[in-house]
C-alpha cells in the first residue's frame, strides 16, 4: 500500500508543477501587437528559453543548409530534405516576420510550422498545410520551451495568368488525317486532353503555362507518339504542325511460281483502297509503295495503317497477278501468298501494203478477267514480228496502229494465240513512196532512214506521209554517203520518187595540231558542205566516215585558236584519205576597253574574260584592259569585281585595231519585306517568287518572323508575289544600291469543309476548282482527302464559284457561291454533290451523212447557275455514237471539235441543240453535224504596269451569251483562240490582280487578228 501511494505521489508532482507554471504566467498585451495574425503568451523564463532556442536553431539551420539534413526528431520527419514555407508568424519579441519551415522532410506551405518563425521550431509540431495552419488541435502548437502558439489561416490571392493553347494535325505516314486520336498533355501544373477531328486537327485550349510537360498522342492501331520537355509560356498559342503516327501492322507477300518455287525480283505494288467510296463509282486506288521480292520471294511492308489494300505483282517472265480485299487491322503481321503463272503472249508478223515487214508498229492488248483489266503494248521489230504479253486464259482486244495507216482493232483474241499476222492499210491522204538502191550494184539497200524514220525491208522501199508543196528529204544508210533529195509534192494522193541511188562513202583521217605543233584534243573537224564531222581525241586524232565522192575541204576549229583547214581532192567511192594534218592558227584579233561603275568611276582589278575561252585580263589603275591574240572575231566578254554584280556583254567584234568598249558594273541591292497573315507574321517556309524583266524566276522562303530577302540584285524592274497565298505579283523598281522594302498581307481566313453526297457520305479525292465570281479567274485547285475533307488557307474575303468533279467517272461540274467573312479564323462550308442520273445519247455525222467515229465530245451545262460550263467529256464509237452519263438535270448541249488530222482538216466547232436532261435517268438523244468551219483569233495582251500577265484567261461568248471557248495561258504576251464560227462574239480577258476587259468582235471570212488588249491593274 505504501509503495502504491509513493508511486502516485511521484507521478503527480510533475503534473502539478506544469499547472502552477501555466497559471502563474503573465499574459502578453495583445493590443500592442501589430495586425494580430498570431498571438504568443510566455513567461519571462520561457521567453529566455525561446531566445536560446532561436540562437541554437539558427546554427542548426546553417548546418542543415550545407548537408541537406533535418535537425528535427527523426520520429516526426519524412525524408532528409528541407521543405521551405513563406508564411508569416510572430516571434517571441512580438514582431511579425516572415520565416521558413525547415521541419525535416515535411512540406512547408505558405506558412511556418506552428505559426512561429522556422528558426524557432524544430520538434514541436510539423507544418503540413500550404495555408500555414498547424497539425495540432484547435490551431495551437506547443514549442520546445513550453510556449503556446495560436494560428490563423492566411489565404493568398491567386495570380491572373493568361492560359496557353496548343494545336496541330494528326496524320499517318502517308499524310492521311487520323480521326479520333487522343492528345494528352501532362506535367506538374497541367493535365488536359483532346481528340482529333475529321481532318485530323486538334486544338487544346486553356492550358496552364508550364516549363516542362509531356505530349502523348495515341490512336487505335498506331504506335504511340511521345515527346517530353515541351514548354508553353503565358498566353502562348502554338501550332506544332503535323504529327505522323506509324502503324504497328505489317504485310508479308510471298511470291511463288506454279511449281511452288520462290520468284525473286518480282515487283510488288501496294495500293490503298478508299473505304468511303461512293455508290456507282469505281473504287479509288492510290499507290503507296512498291518493293521487289528477295531471293526467297518475300516482299515485306511494315507500319501499314489500318484499312483495305490491294497488291499487284509483275515479273517479265510471268503474267501479272492482282490480290484484292486485303484488310489490315493495324496490329500484327499478315501473310499473303501469290502464285504467278508463266507469261502468255499473242504474237505474229505485221506487213505493209507491199507485203513487206513493217517495223515500229504499236500493238496494244487489253486483257479482261473477272474483276480486273490489264493493258500491255509492244512495237514490232525490224522483221515486223511482235509478241505482246497478256493474262492467261483471257480473251483480249488487240489494237494495232501506225502513223499514216488505219488503226485496226480485233476483239476476243484468245490469250496464247500465235501466228496472228496483220496487214496494215494506208489512210487516204498524200503519200510519198520510193526505193533506195546501191548506185554501183543497183541492188536495194535493206536498211536505211528517210530523215529520222528507219526502214528495214528486202525491197528497199519506203512510204511516208507528206503534204503538197516543195520538200527535201535526207537519206542515210550505214556505209553510204548521205544524200539529199528535193522534190515537189503534187496535189494527187500518191507520188513515187525515182530510185534514190546511194554511193559508197569515203573516209578521211588525220591529226589536228595547235600553233606550237602539239596535238590538240577537243578540236572539231568538219567536211565542208556536208554533215560529216568528228571531234579529236586526247591525241588530236580524228576519223570521218560516209563522205560523198568528190573534192572536199576539211576545216578544224577550237575556241582558243584560229581555224585551220586542208584540201582533200579526188575522194573516190569507198576511198580512204589518211594521214591528214590540220594546223590551227594563232589568233590575231584584239579587244580593249574600260570597266567603270554606275557613277563613271574607273575600276581597278576587275577581271575581264572572253566567254568560252581561256583568254582574260585584269584592269589597271585607269580601269583599262586589253586582250590580244584572239582567234575569232565574234566574242562576248564577262567582267567581274568583288562588291559588284558580274556583267556580260552582247556579241562584240574583235579586230587588229579594235575600238574601246565600256563595261559598267552595278552595285548589288536587295528587295526585302515581311509577310503578315492577319495581324501575325507568316509561318516559316512560305515561298516568295521574284521575276526579273527577262521572266527569269528566283524563289526564297520566309524565316520564322515572316521576313524574306532577295540579295545581289542589279538595278531594274522586278515583280514579287506569293502564289501560295493568292497574293499576285507587285512591281518593284530598283535603283543602284538602294534597297526596297515590299510587305505583303495575306488573308487570315482558313476555309475548311467536307465534300459529301446529299446523303451525307463523304466523297474521297474530289477535285475542286475555285474561281473568282467577278472575273472567272482561277484562284486555286485542290483535292479532298480520303474522308472528303479539305482545308484552304489564305483565301481572301469575297465571292467565289466552285466546280466539283469526281474521279473515275464522267466529270460533273456545278457551281456554288461561297462568301468568305472578313473576320480572321476558320470558316467552314461543306460542299455537296447533287444526284446526277441524267444521260445524253449523241449521234455525230459528217455533212455527207457518214458516221463520225473516234471524235471527242465536250458536254456543256446550260443551266442558270453557271451557263455553258464544261460538264463532261465523251468520244464517239465506230458508229458515231457517244453516251455521256452523270449529268445534272439542267439543259445541256454537245460540242464537237474536228481536228486537223481528221477527214475535215480545218479546225471547227459544231454544236447540238440544247436538250433538257431527264430526272428518271433515261437518255436524251441529240445530234451533231460536224462542219469544217471556224477561224483563229490571235493578238497581243499586256498589263498597265508594262509587263505581261503571269496568268491569263480568255472567254469567247456568242451573241446569246453562250460560251464558245475558254482558254488558260501562263506567262505570255499573246493569246490565240481556235475554231470560232463567223458572227458577233464577245472576248473576255481576265487575270488575277487586274480588271476584267470585254471586247466586241464580228468574226468575218478571213479575219485572223484581234486588237491589242491592255489590262488595268486593280487597286491593292
What is the reported pLDDT for 46? 42
The predicted model gives 480-495 an average pLDDT of 82
Q: Residue 844: CB partners within 8 Å, gap ≥ 6?
A: 851, 852, 855, 857, 876, 880, 881, 882, 896, 927, 928, 929, 930
More confident residue, 62 or 749: 749
In the chain, % helix, strand, coil (3-state, to 5) comes to 5, 50, 45
- pTM of model > 0.85: no
Average pLDDT over residues 658-666: 90
Alpha carbons 41 and 26: distance in angstroms, whole number: 8
Segment among 118-127, 322-331, 520-529, 632-641 with least mean pLDDT = 118-127
Report the range out of 149-158, 700-709, 808-817 with the highest average pLDDT.
Answer: 700-709
Question: Taken in order 126, 128, 132, 134, is the CA torsion positive or negative?
Answer: negative
CA atoms of 742 and 732, how far apart (whole Å): 8
Q: Which CA distances in Å does 959 have to 977, 987, 1012?
A: 17, 11, 21
pLDDT of residue 612 exceeding 90: no
* pLDDT on residue 498: 92
- Answer yes or no: are the C-beta atoms of 158 and 129 closer than 8 Å: no
Highest mean pLDDT among 63-72, 91-100, 142-151, 440-449: 440-449
pLDDT in tens, 353-397: 878 888 888 899 987 664 456 778 888 887 889 998 887 777 788
Return d(Cα 833, Cα 812) in angstroms, integer.
9
Per-residue model confidence (pLDDT) at position 871: 57
Burial category of 318 from C-beta neighbours within 10 Å (exposed 0-12, middle 13-18, buried 19 and up):
buried
Residue 284 per-residue DSSP state: P
| 511-534 per-residue burial string, b: 16 or more CB within 10 A, e: under 16 | bbbbbeeeebeebbbbbeebebeb
Task: Decide if pLDDT at 319 tops 70.
Answer: yes
With a cut of 90, say whether residue 594 has pLDDT above it: yes
Please name which of 534, 515, 577 lies closest in space to residue 552, comparing C-alpha atoms: 577
> Tell me: the pLDDT tens digits for 531-557?
788 999 989 999 998 888 889 999 998
The pLDDT of residue 844 is 87
Mean pLDDT on 483-493: 82
The per-residue pLDDT of the chain, averaged, comes to 74
Report the C-alpha gap between 662 and 654 in whole angstroms. Answer: 14
- pLDDT for residue 222: 75
More confident residue, 771 or 577: 577
- Are 800 and 820 in contact by the 8 Å Cβ rule? The answer is yes
* pLDDT on residue 634: 83
Name the more confident of 108 and 932.
932
Most confident region among 213-227, 861-875, 877-891, 896-910 by mean pLDDT = 213-227
> Residue range 291-315: average pLDDT?
81
pLDDT band with cut points at 50, 70 and 90 for residue 81 = very low
Instruction: Assign 625 a pLDDT band (cuts: 50, 70, 90).
Output: very high
Bridge partners (DSSP) of residue 749 are 825
DSSP class of residue 599 equals T
pLDDT value for 357: 84
Predicted pLDDT of residue 61: 46
* Amino acid 508: pLDDT: 93
3-state secondary structure 167-230: EEEEEECCCCECCCCEEEEEECCCEEEEECCCCCEEEEEEECCEEEEEEEEECCCECCEEEEEE
Say whether pLDDT at 624 is over 90: yes
Residue 819 confidence (pLDDT) above 60: yes
Q: Which whole-number Å values give the CA distances from 70 to 74, 82, 309, in the listed order?
A: 8, 7, 66
Residue 1009 has a pLDDT of 65
Tell me if residue 26 falls in helix, strand or coil.
coil
User: β-pairing, 831-833 with 749-757?
Assistant: parallel
Q: What is the pLDDT of residue 978?
A: 63
Query: In which band, very low, low, confident or very high, does the pLDDT at 299 lie, cut at 50, 70 and 90?
Result: confident
Question: Residue 572: its pLDDT value, please?
Answer: 85
Q: Which residues contact 95 (CB under 8 A, 6 or more apart)?
A: none
CA distance 242 to 200: 9
Q: What percent of the chain lies above the pLDDT cut of 70?
A: 71
Q: What CA–CA distance (Å, rounded) separates 512 from 534?
A: 11
Nearest to 64 by CA among 108, 120, 103: 103
- Cα gap 390→341, rounded to integer Å: 11
User: Does residue 107 contact residue 46 with C-beta atoms inside 8 Å?
Assistant: no
63 pLDDT band (50/70/90 cuts)?
very low
Identify the structural domains of the chain with CATH numbers, from first to last. 12-150 (no CATH), 164-245 (2.60.40.10), 248-340 (2.60.40.1120), 344-423 (2.60.40.1120), 431-502 (2.60.40.1120), 506-583 (2.60.40.1120), 589-649 (2.60.40.4130), 669-741 (2.60.40.10), 749-833 (2.60.40.1120), 838-929 (2.60.40.1120), 935-1015 (2.60.40.1120)
Q: What is the pLDDT of residue 586?
A: 78
Name the more confident of 80 and 480: 480
Write down the pLDDT at residue 134.
Answer: 39
**Does residue 742 surpass a pLDDT of 70?**
yes
State the average pLDDT over residues 175-200: 81
Q: Can you give the pLDDT at residue 273?
A: 64
Query: Is 1012 a residue whose pLDDT tops 60?
Result: yes
* Least confident interval from 162-171, 423-432, 620-629, 742-751: 423-432
845 sits in which H/E element: strand 838-845
| Predicted local distance difference test score (pLDDT) of residue 141 | 44
Give the pLDDT mean for 944-951.
74
pLDDT at 608 over 70: yes
- The confidence score (pLDDT) of residue 227 equals 86
The set of cell numbers assigned to 590 is 584584239
Of 727, 805, 610, 344, nearest to 719 (Cα)?
Answer: 727
525-to-567, 633, 1016 alpha-carbon distances in Å: 13, 20, 56
SS3 701: strand
| CB contact set of 41 (below 8 Å; sequence gap of 6+) | 25, 27, 28, 147, 148
φ, ψ at 24 (rounded to 5°) = -85, -5
Confidence (pLDDT) at 573: 78
**Grid coordinates 483562240 are at which residue?**
977
At 42, phi and psi to the nearest 5? -155, 150
Distances in Å between the alpha carbon of 724 and those of 199, 274, 401, 682, 688? 21, 28, 43, 12, 9
Task: Specify the pLDDT at position 78.
Answer: 39
- Top pLDDT among 297 and 13 is at 297
Q: What is the mean pLDDT of residues 446-459?
A: 83
Q: Which of 359, 457, 468, 346 is nearest to 398 (CA)?
A: 346
pLDDT of residue 933: 53
Q: What is the mean pLDDT of residues 64-75?
A: 42
Report the C-alpha gap between 765 and 787 in whole angstroms: 8
pLDDT band at 199 (very low <50, low <70, confident <90, very high): confident
854: cell is 473516234
Q: Are 830 and 754 spatial neighbours (Cβ–Cβ below 8 Å)?
A: yes
State yes or no: pLDDT of 504 exceeds 70.
yes
pLDDT of 105 higher than 80: no
Question: Is the pLDDT higher at 695 or at 424?
Answer: 424
Q: How far is CA 353 from CA 26, 347, 356, 423, in A?
A: 137, 20, 7, 7
Amino acid at each position: 500500500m505504501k509503495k502504491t501511494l509513493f508511486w502516485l505521489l511521484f507521478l503527480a508532482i510533475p503534473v502539478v508543477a506544469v499547472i502552477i507554471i501555466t497559471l502563474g504566467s503573465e499574459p502578453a498585451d495583445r493590443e500592442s501587437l501589430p495586425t494580430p495574425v498570431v498571438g504568443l503568451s510566455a513567461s519571462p523564463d520561457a521567453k529566455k528559453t525561446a531566445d536560446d532556442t532561436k540562437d541554437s536553431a539558427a546554427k542548426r539551420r546553417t548546418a542543415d543548409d550545407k548537408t541537406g539534413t533535418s535537425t528535427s526528431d527523426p520520429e516526426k520527419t519524412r525524408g532528409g530534405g528541407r521543405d521551405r514555407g513563406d508564411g508569416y508568424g510572430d516571434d517571441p519579441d512580438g514582431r511579425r516576420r516572415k520565416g521558413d519551415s525547415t521541419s525535416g522532410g515535411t512540406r512547408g506551405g505558405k506558412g511556418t510550422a506552428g505559426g512561429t518563425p522556422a528558426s524557432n521550431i524544430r520538434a514541436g509540431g510539423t507544418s503540413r498545410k500550404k495555408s500555414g495552419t498547424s497539425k495540432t488541435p484547435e490551431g495551437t502548437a506547443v514549442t520546445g520551451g513550453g510556449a503556446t502558439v495560436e494560428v490563423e489561416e492566411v489565404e493568398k490571392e491567386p495570380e491572373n495568368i493568361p492560359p496557353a493553347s496548343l494545336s496541330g494535325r494528326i496524320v499517318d505516314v502517308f499524310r492521311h488525317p487520323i480521326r479520333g486520336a487522343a492528345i494528352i498533355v501532362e506535367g506538374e501544373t497541367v493535365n488536359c486532353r483532346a481528340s482529333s477531328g475529321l481532318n485530323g486537327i486538334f486544338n487544346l485550349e486553356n492550358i496552364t503555362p508550364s516549363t516542362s510537360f509531356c505530349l502523348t498522342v495515341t490512336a487505335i492501331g498506331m504506335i504511340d507518339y511521345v515527346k517530353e520537355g515541351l514548354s508553353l509560356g503565358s498566353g502562348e498559342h502554338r501550332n506544332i504542325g503535323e504529327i505522323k503516327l506509324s502503324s504497328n501492322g505489317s504485310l508479308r507477300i510471298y511470291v511463288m511460281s506454279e511449281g511452288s518455287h520462290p520468284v525473286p525480283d518480282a515487283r510488288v505494288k501496294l495500293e490503298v483502297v478508299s473505304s468511303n467510296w461512293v455508290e456507282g463509282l469505281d473504287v479509288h486506288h492510290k499507290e503507296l509503295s512498291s518493293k521487289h521480292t528477295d531471293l526467297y520471294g518475300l516482299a515485306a511492308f511494315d507500319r501499314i495503317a489500318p484499312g483495305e489494300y490491294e497488291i499487284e505483282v509483275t515479273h517479265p517472265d510471268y503474267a501479272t497477278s492482282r490480290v484484292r480485299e486485303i484488310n489490315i487491322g493495324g496490329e500484327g503481321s499478315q501473310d499473303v501468298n501469290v502464285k504467278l503463272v508463266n507469261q502468255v503472249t499473242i504474237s505474229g508478223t505485221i506487213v505493209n501494203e507491199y507485203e513487206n515487214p513493217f517495223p515500229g508498229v504499236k500493238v496494244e492488248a487489253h486483257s479482261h478477267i473477272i474483276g480486273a483489266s490489264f493493258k500491255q503494248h509492244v512495237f514490232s521489230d525490224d522483221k515486223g514480228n511482235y509478241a505482246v504479253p497478256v493474262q492467261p486464259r483471257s480473251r483480249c482486244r488487240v489494237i494495232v496502229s501506225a502513223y499514216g495507216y488505219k488503226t485496226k482493232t480485233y476483239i476476243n483474241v484468245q490469250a496464247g494465240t500465235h501466228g496472228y499476222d496483220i496487214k496494215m492499210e494506208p489512210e487516204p491522204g498524200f503519200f510519198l513512196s520510193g526505193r533506195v538502191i546501191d548506185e554501183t550494184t543497183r541492188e536495194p539497200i535493206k536498211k536505211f532512214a528517210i530523215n529520222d524514220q528507219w526502214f528495214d525491208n528486202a525491197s528497199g522501199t519506203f512510204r511516208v506521209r507528206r503534204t503538197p508543196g516543195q520538200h527535201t528529204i535526207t537519206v542515210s544508210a550505214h556505209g553510204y554517203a548521205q544524200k539529199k533529195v528535193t522534190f515537189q509534192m503534187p496535189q494527187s494522193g500518191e507520188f513515187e520518187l525515182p530510185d534514190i541511188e546511194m554511193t559508197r562513202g569515203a573516209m578521211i583521217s588525220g591529226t589536228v595540231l595547235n600553233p606550237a605543233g602539239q596535238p590538240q584534243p577537243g578540236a572539231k573537224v568538219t567536211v565542208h558542205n556536208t554533215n560529216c564531222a568528228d571531234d579529236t581525241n586526247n591525241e588530236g586524232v580524228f576519223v570521218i566516215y560516209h563522205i560523198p565522192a568528190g573534192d572536199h575541204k576539211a576545216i578544224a576549229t577550237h575556241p582558243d585558236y584560229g581555224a585551220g583547214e586542208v584540201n582533200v581532192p579526188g575522194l573516190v567511192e569507198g576511198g580512204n584519205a589518211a594521214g591528214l594534218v590540220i594546223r590551227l592558227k594563232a589568233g590575231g584579233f584584239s579587244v580593249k576597253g574600260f570597266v567603270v561603275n554606275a557613277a563613271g568611276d574607273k575600276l581597278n582589278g576587275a577581271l575581264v574574260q572572253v566567254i568560252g575561252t581561256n583568254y582574260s585580263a585584269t584592269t589597271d589603275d585607269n580601269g583599262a584592259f586589253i586582250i590580244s591574240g584572239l582567234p575569232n572575231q565574234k566574242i562576248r566578254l564577262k567582267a567581274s569585281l568583288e562588291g559588284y554584280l558580274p556583267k556580260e556583254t552582247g556579241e562584240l567584234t574583235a579586230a587588229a585595231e579594235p575600238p574601246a568598249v565600256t563595261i559598267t558594273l552595278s552595285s548589288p541591292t536587295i528587295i526585302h519585306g515581311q509577310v503578315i497573315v492577319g495581324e501575325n507574321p507568316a509561318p516559316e517556309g512560305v515561298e516568295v517568287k521574284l521575276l526579273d524583266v527577262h521572266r527569269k524566276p528566283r524563289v526564297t522562303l520566309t524565316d520564322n518572323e515572316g521576313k524574306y530577302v532577295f540579295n545581289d540584285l542589279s538595278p531594274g524592274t522586278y515583280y514579287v508575289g506569293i502564289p501560295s497565298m493568292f497574293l499576285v505579283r507587285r512591281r518593284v523598281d530598283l535603283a543602284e544600291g538602294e534597297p526596297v522594302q515590299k510587305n505583303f498581307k495575306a488573308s487570315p481566313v482558313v476555309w475548311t469543309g467536307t465534300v459529301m453526297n446529299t446523303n451525307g457520305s463523304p466523297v474521297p479525292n474530289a477535285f475542286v476548282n475555285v474561281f473568282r465570281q467577278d472575273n472567272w479567274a482561277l484562284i486555286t485547285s485542290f483535292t479532298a482527302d480520303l474522308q472528303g475533307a479539305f482545308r484552304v488557307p489564305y483565301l481572301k474575303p469575297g465571292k467565289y464559284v466552285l466546280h466539283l468533279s469526281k474521279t473515275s467517272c464522267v466529270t460533273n461540274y456545278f457551281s456554288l457561291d461561297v462568301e468568305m467573312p472578313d473576320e480572321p479564323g476558320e470558316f467552314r462550308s461543306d460542299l455537296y454533290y447533287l444526284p446526277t442520273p441524267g444521260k445524253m445519247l449523241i449521234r455525230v455525222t459528217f455533212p455527207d451523212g457518214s458516221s463520225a467515229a473516234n471524235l471527242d465530245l465536250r458536254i456543256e451545262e446550260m443551266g442558270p447557275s453557271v451557263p455553258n460550263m464544261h460538264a463532261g467529256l465523251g468520244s464517239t464509237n465506230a458508229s458515231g455514237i457517244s453516251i455521256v452519263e452523270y449529268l445534272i438535270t439542267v439543259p445541256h448541249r454537245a460540242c464537237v471539235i474536228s481536228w486537223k488530222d481528221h477527214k475535215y482538216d480545218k479546225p471547227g466547232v459544231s454544236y447540238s441543240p440544247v436538250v433538257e436532261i431527264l430526272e428518271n435517268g433515261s437518255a436524251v438523244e441529240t445530234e451533231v453535224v460536224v462542219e469544217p468551219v471556224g477561224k483563229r483569233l490571235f493578238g497581243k495582251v499586256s498589263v498597265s504596269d508594262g509587263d505581261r500577265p503571269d496568268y491569263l484567261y480568255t472567254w469567247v461568248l456568242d451573241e446569246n451569251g453562250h460560251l464558245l471557248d475558254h482558254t488558260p495561258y501562263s506567262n505570255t504576251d499573246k493569246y490565240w483562240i481556235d475554231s470560232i464560227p463567223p458572227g458577233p462574239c464577245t472576248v473576255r480577258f481576265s487575270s488575277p490582280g487586274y480588271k476584267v476587259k470585254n471586247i466586241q468582235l464580228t468574226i468575218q471570212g478571213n479575219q485572223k487578228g484581234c486588237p491589242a488588249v491592255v489590262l488595268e491593274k486593280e487597286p491593292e
